[in-house]
Amino acid sequence: MFVIVSILVVLLAVLAGQQVQKNLRPIPVRTREQEARERRNQFRR
């Protein structure tokens, strides 16, 4: 039972995340990538 419930929770979270991404700003993961790139550029300097 626990496995089934956990899978359903994950699916609901994914669907909710997709809706939020469509309604609101772009994916926050992109900002994390940008921060990583900026940090790398600073190290290069």
- Judge whether residue 28 has pLDDT over 80: no
- Which residue shows structure tokens 């956990």? 6
Q: Where are the domains of the chain?
A: 1-43
Please state, in angstroms and as integers, the Cα–Cα distance from residue 5 to each residue in 12, 13, 15, following that order: 11, 12, 15
pLDDT for 33: 76
Is the predicted pLDDT of residue 40 greater than 70, yes or no? yes
* pLDDT, tens only, 16-27: 777 766 666 655
DSSP secondary structure, 1-45, as one string: -HHHHHHHHHHHHHHHHHHHHHHSSSPHHHHHHHHHHHHHHHHH-
pTM of the model: 0.39
More confident residue, 23 or 42: 42
Tokens 């600073």, residue located: 42
| pLDDT: which is higher, 18 or 2 | 2
